[in-house]
């Protein structure tokens, strides 16, 4: 984006625009488009286009709106290119030269009206044409009408959605034409819904057509449909009003059902975050019994490793950006793991069996680590980007599933399975279990217990580092990152049962889902309090958590 030249308010005197708008932007565009259909000749196109474009040089919101309407009504083939450039912030102007350009990603300038490349140095006062939300709405509506007949089904679908929102009556002729020639089922439905939206709100539609339109909108059944139906004017005939209120009732019932599914999904997503944050602690606290208050800082270190990796990639190999997380995972594991081993060797190994001292020492350590990171990287948040496969969302029935949450659930499960595998099937896992269950016996069987202790702590810390890579995608990367997860992590491990990975697994998902089902009723603050109270009550009943270890192991 070439906006680094700054928007500013060089001429803010006029720009904070006038409030007296007689028509909605969408309606103006629509009227203009209707006018455009009446006008024909190509010569006229060129002239009216050039006229319209000069409005963009005024640096005033109302003038820009006039410009957009002019460009659309010119009927020129370049209208779509110009409006889309405006939408993407690529339409530039020079007030001095009264000229308007389109700037491509490489910074090259093209004349907006003709599309010819501009030779020579760009003008000194080059600036992008500024937009506000009113203009963006008008532009979206204009783009919708301009692309209804596009060759690309995806764009036609978007156009139909834009028209559904703008409900511009004058889009109707184009819409009818588009429906008649549409072959793609999904796009056709969207187009028909757009037509229904226009018919419902336009004056002069017959009652039978309105009822048909309500049925179409009712089938759409989402929140936009609800908004449209709730907006039906009060002076409708009783039949139409009744049909609308019935449809609203039906949609609300359907949405309420989907709400439960959505809460479940949110709960699973929160559970996966809790699992990631807690699973390292399940090793250091759950298996080894070390009250590690610096656990959150291991998560934070993992997030900072991701930041450093992304910075290096951005500066030296931008093409690899989508792989940045894959590269960060092993590095974060190794780095946080090494820090963990260092902590174990230097501090914790002197404190086994003294929980109070361990608690204080690791808490102090967490402050030291935070301040160290603050000194090196500064106290501000660091930007960690989402790779393209983790951005955006898709609709699944009535719920919106965001990709980053989906990937984090998969990732949490993968980490859990891998950890189970290490504990169950490797020699190190066997030694680890032996040492934690009966240290003296393990030592007499020839296991170097102190080495196993260090490696176990390193493993727990390394897993926390990996969690940091994932959490950097949804949370702030700042020195405080770890603090917000340490309480939740202990909660999960204690609730699930100390010393059992499955306890942590079930515990995190139960807490996640319970939290998300409570939140809509109780609110975020009360919901959290309620969960804490429930856990306290639960621990009174079952002090060893959901999955208590039985037998002699617990005595060791």
State which of positions 477-516 bind another protein (CB under 8 A). Answer: 477-480, 483-484, 516
Instruction: Report 351-370 residues binding another protein (CB under 8 A).
Output: 370
Nearer to another protein, 92 or 455 (CB): 92
Residue 40 or 392: which CB sits closer to another protein? 392
Q: What minimum distance in Å lies between the beta carbon of 85 and another protein? A: 14
Q: Decide if residue 133 touches another protein (CB under 8 A).
A: yes
CB of 6 to another protein, least distance (A): 6
Q: Which is nearer to another protein, 136 or 542 (CB)?
A: 136
The sign one gets for the Cα dihedral 143, 147, 148, 154 is negative
Q: What are phi and psi of 237, to 5 degrees?
A: -65, 155
Tokens 């099937």 appear where? 425
DSSP SS3 for 496: helix
CA distances from 551 to 282, 422, 437, 555 (A): 20, 23, 11, 8
SS (H, E, C) 257-316: HHHHHHHHHHHHHHHHHHHHHHHHHHHHHHHCCCCCCCHHHHHHHHHHHHHHHHHHHHHH
Kindly identify the residues of this chain, within the stretch 258-287, that bind another protein according to CB under 8 A: 262-263, 266, 269-270, 273
Which one, 461 or 473, has the nearer CB to another protein? 473
Query: Using CB under 8 A, which of 174, 405, 491, 503 touches another protein?
Result: 405
Contact stretch for another protein (CB under 8 A) within 234-242, 389-397, 437-445, 499-507: 389-397
Least Å distance, CB 426 to another protein, is 34
Alpha helices in 55-206 (DSSP H): 61-74, 79-87, 133-146, 153-166, 172-181, 185-201
Tell me the C-alpha distance between 471 and 488, whole Å: 14
Judged by beta carbon, residue 132 or residue 253, the one nearer another protein is 132
Binding-site size, another protein (CB under 8 A): 75
When the beta carbons of 225 and 494 are compared against another protein, the nearer one is 225
Q: Which stretch binds another protein (CB under 8 A): 15-23, 106-114, 432-440, 455-463?
A: 15-23
Candidate list 173, 227, 249, 364; residue touching another protein; CB under 8 A: 227
Of 273, 296, 270, 261, nearest to 411 by C-alpha is 273
Binding mask 144-173 for another protein (x = CB under 8 A): ------------------------------
When the beta carbons of 16 and 364 are compared against another protein, the nearer one is 16
Residue 366 in contact with residue 296, Cβ under 8 Å?
A: yes
Q: CA–CA separation, 95 vs 59, rounded Å?
A: 8
253 is an interface residue for another protein by CB under 8 A: no
- With binding defined as CB under 8 A, does residue 203 bind another protein? no
Question: How far from each other are the two terminal CA atoms of the chain, in whole angstroms?
Answer: 62
Binding status of residue 105 toward another protein by CB under 8 A:
no
Is the Cβ–Cβ distance between 411 and 470 less than 8 Å? yes
The 515-534 contact track toward another protein, x by CB under 8 A, reads -x--xx--xxx--x------
Name the DSSP letter for residue 69.
Answer: H
d(CA 213, CA 209): 6
Give, as ranges, the residues between 406 and 465 that touch another protein (CB under 8 A): none
Choose which of 134, 212, 345, 439 interacts with another protein (CB under 8 A).
134
- Give me the half-sphere count of Cα atoms (radius 13 Å) on the Cβ side of residue 499: 20
Other CB atoms within a 10 A radius of the CB of residue 470 amount to 29
What DSSP state is assigned to residue 386? P
- Verify binding: residue 1, another protein, rule CB under 8 A: yes
**Which part of the chain contacts another protein (CB under 8 A), choosing from 12-20, 27-35, 294-302, 530-538?**
12-20
Among 459, 511, 495, 488, smallest CA distance to 283 is for 459
């Amino acid at each position: 984006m070439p906006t680094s030249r700054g928007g500013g308010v060089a001429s803010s005197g006029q720009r904070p625009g006038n409030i007296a708008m007689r028509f909605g932007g969408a309606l103006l565009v629509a009227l203009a488009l209707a006018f455009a259909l009446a006008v024909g000749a190509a010569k006229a196109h060129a002239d009216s286009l050039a006229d319209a474009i000069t409005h963009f040089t005024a640096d005033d919101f109302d003038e820009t709106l006039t410009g957009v309407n002019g460009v659309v009504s010119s009927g020129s083939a370049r209208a779509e290119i110009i409006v889309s450039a405006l939408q993407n912030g690529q339409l530039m102007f020079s007030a001095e030269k009264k000229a308007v350009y389109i700037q491509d990603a490489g910074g090259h300038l093209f004349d907006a009206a003709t599309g010819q490349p501009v030779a020579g140095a760009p003008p000194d006062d080059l600036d992008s044409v500024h937009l506000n939300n009113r203009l963006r709405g008008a532009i979206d509506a204009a783009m919708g009408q301009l692309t209804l007949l596009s060759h690309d089904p995806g764009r036609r679908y978007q156009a139909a959605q834009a028209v559904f929102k703008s409900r511009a009556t004058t889009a109707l002729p184009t819409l009818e034409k588009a429906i008649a020639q549409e072959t793609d089922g999904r796009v056709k439905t969207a187009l028909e819904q757009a037509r229904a939206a226009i018919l419902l709100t336009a004056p002069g539609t017959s009652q039978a057509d309105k009822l048909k339109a309500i049925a179409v909108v009712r089938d759409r059944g989402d929140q936009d449909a609800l908004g449209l139906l709730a907006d039906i004017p009060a002076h409708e005939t009783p039949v139409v009003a009744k049909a609308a209120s019935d449809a609203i009732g039906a949609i609300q019932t359907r949405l309420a059902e989907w709400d439960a599914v959505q809460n479940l999904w949110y709960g699973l997503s929160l559970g996966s975050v809790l699992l990631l944050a807690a699973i390292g602690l399940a090793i250091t606290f759950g298996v080894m019994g070390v009250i590690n208050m610096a656990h959150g800082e291991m998560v934070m270190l993992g997030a900072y490793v991701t930041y450093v990796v992304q910075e290096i990639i951005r500066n030296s190999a931008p093409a690899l950006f989508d792989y940045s997380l894959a590269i960060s995972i092993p590095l974060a594991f190794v780095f946080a793991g090494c820090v963990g081993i260092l902590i174990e060797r230097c501090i914790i190994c002197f404190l086994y069996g003294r929980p109070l001292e361990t608690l204080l020492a690791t808490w102090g350590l967490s402050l030291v680590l935070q301040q160290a990171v603050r000194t090196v990287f500064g106290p501000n948040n660091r930007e960690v980007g989402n790779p393209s496969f983790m951005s955006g969302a898709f609709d699944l029935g009535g719920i919106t599933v965001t990709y980053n949450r989906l990937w984090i659930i998969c990732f949490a499960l993968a980490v859990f399975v891998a950890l189970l595998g290490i504990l169950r099937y490797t020699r190190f896992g066997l030694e680890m279990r032996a040492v934690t269950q009966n240290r003296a016996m393990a030592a007499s069987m020839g296991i170097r217990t102190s080495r196993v202790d260090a490696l176990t702590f390193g493993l727990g810390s390394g897993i926390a580092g990996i969690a940091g890579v994932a959490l950097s995608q949804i949370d702030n990367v700042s020195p405080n990152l770890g603090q917000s997860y340490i309480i939740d992590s202990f909660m999960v491990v204690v609730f699930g049962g100390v010393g059992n990975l499955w306890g942590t697994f079930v515990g995190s998902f139960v807490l996640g889902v319970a939290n998300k089902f409570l939140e809509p009723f109780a609110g975020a603050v009360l919901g959290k309090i309620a969960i804490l109270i429930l856990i306290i009550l639960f621990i009174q009943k079952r002090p060893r958590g959901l999955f208590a270890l039985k037998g002699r192991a617990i005595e060791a």
